[in-house]
Structure 1
Amino acid sequence: MKKTAALSATLAALTLSLCAHADVDVKLGSKERVSRLFAYPNNCNVICFRDWSLEKTVEHYLTQSVQRDGYTSATVHVVNDTNELHAKISGVPDGYGKPLTQLLDAGEKAYDGAKKLNADGKFAYNWYLFLPLGMALENRKSVELLHFPPDYSLTQAQDYLRSATTDRWAALLTDNGIAADQTPAFQTIIDIAPIAAPASAGKDLEGVYGYFNDYQTTMVKEVSLSAKGTSLPMVAFGAPVRSWLKEQYKVEVPVLGLATISPVSGQNVSVIGSNHPSYIWYAADKSNYGGDETKADEAGLKVMGQDLSAACWQAGMGQKPDNDAAALLKQCTTQWQVTRKVETCKLFYTSIRNLTPDQAAAKCRTGAVGRQLDQLRMPLPEMLKKPAA
């Protein structure tokens, strides 16, 4: 399966390189506009972690985008022409600037929401407005709906896809046959709170979503459509996001539940509910069970099975959007929670408990873990159903 995915990725990259030949000039706006939309300076506190100019900062994020779109030979040069910034992008198809312009226009709505939030005294001193910069703009495969980006993705990594959350989910996609260098195409993120904040800020951000309604709905409309005009599958991560979907689109999406939303009339988007990618570390924390390691492992294995099943659905729908969503989900849950449950167990122990492959294999052969494997399809303990960040 992985060899087939790698071959497909190689052929896709070759096709892209043959098609990408245009020089695109994208008007970004005034220096003031670009500064606020690119959170410039990204990482300065008297001394800048990376002492980049505004132009260099924009080039950095746009280069991430063209690379993640598969245009590996493309170049980006940002110029300031009498206080108006332009991005000159070579080696991409004609029209490539449209999704970038849409993102920045949507970003103005996020900025307006953040200004109102601050005027109401609700914007914390250590929060940053942070748009989903640097992701695939054109060759997207699926959409991930999340809560908020961690602050270090902005201030340290300057990469929206660099976090424990996104890294773990990328690994689950590779476990489901997606080549590692192709996972960014599946991870186009919309955060319902476009605010980079400390990982512990989840509860504080729960009251801000209404300020970003125009931004959220605009992003869902635009990002959930591929460049060819087809609907892309969406994964809703975590309880706050699934609650937001219920409020905004009137759909229930429990973990491994399916729903369909219509961002615009006539457009149907398949959505799967999932745990937050980082939830497993809470679910498998022994302190939640009075130090009982067996119970912690049972809960962790349950979440691992759910997460692998959701990533399997995302990978399959992303590669073939016309798949039967319900049939694919049934196939994925059977695969990871029944047929390959021992592999699910091993992946839990290697990726969450940090055991070696041999140690994990030994764990998964024991009687106690055998009983845990039988719990993969059982409900989680009630105490673990609190909203995840």
Structure 2
Amino acid sequence: MFKLAGLSLAALALSATAHADVSLKLGNTERVTRLFSYPNNCNVICFRNWTLEQTVEHYLTQSVQRDGYSDAKVLVKTDKGQLVADISGVPRSYEKPLAALLDAGDLAYNGASKLNADGKWAYSWNLFLPLGLALENRRSVELLHFPPDYSLTQAQDYLRSDTTDRWASLLTINGIPAEQTPGFQTIIDIAPIAAPSNAGKDLEGVYDYFKDYQATMVKNISVHASGIALPMVAFGTPVRNWIKQQYGPTVNVLSLVNISPSDGVKVPVLGSNHPSYIWYVADPASYTGKDAQAKADTAGLKVMGQDLSVACWQAAMGRDPESNPDIELKSCTQTWQVAQKEKTCELFYTSIRNLKTAQAVAKCASATIAPQLKQLKAPAPATALPPPPF
């Protein structure tokens, strides 16, 4: 099993420990400014004209809310040149994961500084740590490539992107209430850089600059404070390749491996498509020939079945990390690629093709589509060009 001996799953539940006031020194103005990417959205005129203290309060409030502490309050102030976060209504231990995140952020800043010194930093990039996510009561971990720039500049919310929104919807389809999905979406991006959504190719050469940051984050985030290893999903080709480079195992879509971020710890990792990949493979423009639309539909259906299966596994393992990951994966693929293949088809046509439910049901029962549903596990048609590095 993927846990340390003698630990109970109950430790993952919201603690009944009496809540207290936590006071944490965040560092001097220079440190906090760079770790919180301040200002987030100013170009002469600020989209939101917040102070540094207000910006930090914003992200820390997101974290305590996503950790389930709905009554918690955050106040950030400057005292003798140091920024201090006073948080009420959380366990005394809450300062530990927050301090660990900021310490890892220093490593990310060092990597970004070296990247810039080597002339490889782009003018449109911003250092962006995974701020505002669940720090303590996380249920699973998502390994991704990089955050889109608008998550920082427009939303000021690490979980506000087309990628994370789509994946949250798949978790909800698999039984996770919408208000609980943030607990399943604690993200580690191997490139902690907010960049334009099409910047994947440009970021391929930067990963080694962030080795210390990456290793520290995976070690810290993949294991709950109770000692139980959390399920992890590796999204997209760059991330799956990175897993192989850093930890050894080859990770394909729907392949399950273990990694060991630290001695004695085994973390189950499931390979996945990038959440945005479906929009590429389901686009007729990605194919040639008169049957481009048919190829796009076929590929989109297969990817939808894969994505639903991964989200199903993530939901099941997040609810109970002591479950058998192999059994859960077999159950999930059987559900979405076989037993509920018609539902998989319907969800593809409603969420990707934007058909109404009745139209999607009719489409999935048609003579051209219905036979394909028996082949959801088969390889998808090849696109005319290799997909971009999501």
**Normalising by the residue count of structure 2, what TM-score does the alignment of the two structures yield?**
0.94
**Partner deviation per Cα, 1:366-386 (whole Å, 9 max, x = no partner):** 111112212311012233764
Gaps of 5+ in 1: 1-10
2:3 maps to which residue?
Answer: none
1:242 aligns to 2:240 (yes or no): yes
**Partner deviation per Cα, 1:23-57 (whole Å, 9 max, x = no partner):** 00011000110000000000000000000000000
Query: Shift in Å at residue 94 of structure 1?
Result: 1.1
Of residues 143, 146, 149, the one that matches 2:144 is: 146
Larger mean Cα displacement after TM superposition, 163-172 or 287-296: 287-296
1:382 maps to which residue?
Answer: 382
What CA distance in whole angstroms lies between the structure 1 residues aligned with 2:387 and 2:325?
27
1:260 maps to which residue?
Answer: 258
Assess if the C-alpha contact under 8 Å between 1:28 and 1:85 holds in 2.
yes
For the residue of structure 1 that corresponds to 2:368, the secondary structure is helix
1:313 maps to which residue?
Answer: 313
1:158 aligns to 2:181 (yes or no): no
Gaps of 5+ in 2: 1-9
Assess if the C-alpha contact under 8 Å between 2:105 and 2:213 holds in 1.
yes
1:301 maps to which residue?
Answer: 301
1:6 maps to which residue?
Answer: none
2:193 maps to which residue?
Answer: 195
For the residue of structure 2 that corresponds to 1:322, the secondary structure is coil
1:347 maps to which residue?
Answer: 347
Q: Over aligned residues, Cα RMSD in angstroms?
A: 1.6
**Partner deviation per Cα, 1:279-310 (whole Å, 9 max, x = no partner):** 00001001122362221111000000000000
2:59 maps to which residue?
Answer: 61
1:215 maps to which residue?
Answer: 213
- Give the 3 Å change call, closer, same or farther, for CA 379–20 of structure 1 in structure 2: farther
Assess if the C-alpha contact under 8 Å between 1:78 and 1:88 holds in 2.
yes
Between the two structures, name the one with larger relative contact order (CA 8 Å, sep ≥ 6): 2
Assess if the C-alpha contact under 8 Å between 2:299 and 2:381 holds in 1.
yes
What CA distance in whole angstroms lies between the structure 2 residues aligned with 1:20 and 1:173?
31
Query: Shift in Å at residue 17 of structure 1?
Result: 8.2
Assess if the C-alpha contact under 8 Å between 2:11 and 2:226 holds in 1.
no
- Give the 3 Å change call, closer, same or farther, for CA 386–104 of structure 1 in structure 2: same
For the residue of structure 1 that corresponds to 2:268, the secondary structure is strand
* Amino acid of the structure 2 residue aligned with 1:330: K
1:5 maps to which residue?
Answer: none
Assess if the C-alpha contact under 8 Å between 2:140 and 2:185 holds in 1.
yes
Query: Shift in Å at residue 337 of structure 1?
Result: 0.4
Of residues 187, 199, 224, the one that matches 2:222 is: 224
Matches within 5 A, 1:84-123: 84-123=82-121
Larger mean Cα displacement after TM superposition, 289-298 or 216-225: 289-298
Larger mean Cα displacement after TM superposition, 174-183 or 319-328: 319-328
Larger mean Cα displacement after TM superposition, 103-112 or 280-289: 280-289
What CA distance in whole angstroms lies between the structure 1 residues aligned with 2:334 and 2:14?
35
What CA distance in whole angstroms lies between the structure 2 residues aligned with 1:270 and 1:134?
25
What CA distance in whole angstroms lies between the structure 1 residues aligned with 2:85 and 2:306?
42
What CA distance in whole angstroms lies between the structure 2 residues aligned with 1:154 and 1:36?
13
What CA distance in whole angstroms lies between the structure 2 residues aligned with 1:82 and 1:305?
56
- Give the 3 Å change call, closer, same or farther, for CA 267–385 of structure 1 in structure 2: farther
1:279 maps to which residue?
Answer: 277
- Give the 3 Å change call, closer, same or farther, for CA 321–365 of structure 1 in structure 2: same
1:4 maps to which residue?
Answer: none
**Partner deviation per Cα, 1:346-389 (whole Å, 9 max, x = no partner):** 10011100111111111111111112212311012233764541
Query: Shift in Å at residue 12 of structure 1?
Result: 11
* Amino acid of the structure 2 residue aligned with 1:223: I
**Partner deviation per Cα, 1:126-175 (whole Å, 9 max, x = no partner):** 00000000000000100000000000000000000000000000000001
Matches within 5 A, 1:30-41: 30-41=28-39
What CA distance in whole angstroms lies between the structure 2 residues aligned with 1:341 and 1:358?
16
What CA distance in whole angstroms lies between the structure 1 residues aligned with 2:224 and 2:312?
20
What CA distance in whole angstroms lies between the structure 1 residues aligned with 2:355 and 2:211?
43
Of residues 122, 126, 129, the one that matches 2:127 is: 129
* Amino acid of the structure 2 residue aligned with 1:39: S
- Give the 3 Å change call, closer, same or farther, for CA 253–321 of structure 1 in structure 2: same
* Amino acid of the structure 2 residue aligned with 1:122: K
* Amino acid of the structure 1 residue aligned with 2:164: T
What CA distance in whole angstroms lies between the structure 2 residues aligned with 1:180 and 1:319?
14
Assess if the C-alpha contact under 8 Å between 1:276 and 1:388 holds in 2.
no
Query: Shift in Å at residue 21 of structure 1?
Result: 1.8
Of residues 67, 73, 76, the one that matches 1:75 is: 73
1:270 maps to which residue?
Answer: 268
What CA distance in whole angstroms lies between the structure 2 residues aligned with 1:308 and 1:20?
38
What CA distance in whole angstroms lies between the structure 1 residues aligned with 2:297 and 2:99?
47
Assess if the C-alpha contact under 8 Å between 1:221 and 1:264 holds in 2.
yes
Q: Percent identity?
A: 67
1:361 maps to which residue?
Answer: 361
1:204 aligns to 2:206 (yes or no): no
Assess if the C-alpha contact under 8 Å between 1:284 and 1:299 holds in 2.
yes
What CA distance in whole angstroms lies between the structure 1 residues aligned with 2:242 and 2:14?
36
1:370 maps to which residue?
Answer: 370
**Partner deviation per Cα, 1:41-94 (whole Å, 9 max, x = no partner):** 000000000000000000000000000000000000001002100100000011
